[in-house]
């Protein structure tokens, strides 16, 4: 079974009107990179979380083309 896992940092802060603003960063292949960025945002006052998305594709059969495309993109 092949697959991929990506992570992104989601920031949350109050704007000048007191409303919450939520922003999601780009997907990153490394969890360590996501944790590093999260810590940088935390240090300047943002509330942060890290989202993770994973996909597992069965090898062979109908998914072979999709599996090949995803493995070459990452």
Domains of the chain, by residue range, sit at 2-73
Instruction: List the beta bridge partners of residue 13.
Output: 21
Q: Per-residue pLDDT tens for 22-48?
A: 999 999 999 999 999 999 999 999 999
Residue 9: DSSP 8-state: E
Q: What is the DSSP string of 46-64?
A: -EEEEEEEEEEE-SSGGGH
How far, in Å, are 8, 13, 51, 54, 59 from residue 31 at the CA level? 8, 22, 10, 12, 25
Instruction: List the beta bridge partners of residue 5.
Output: 54
pLDDT score of 58 more than 70: no
Strands 2-14 and 20-24, by their bridges, are: antiparallel
């Amino acid at each position: 079974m092949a697959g991929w896992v990506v992570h992104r940092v989601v920031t949350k802060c109050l704007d000048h009107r007191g409303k919450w603003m939520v922003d999601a960063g780009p997907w990153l292949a490394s969890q360590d990179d996501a944790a590093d960025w999260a810590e940088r945002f935390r240090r300047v006052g943002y509330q942060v979380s890290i989202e993770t998305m994973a996909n597992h594709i069965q090898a062979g059969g109908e998914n072979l083309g999709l599996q090949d495309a995803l493995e070459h993109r990452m």
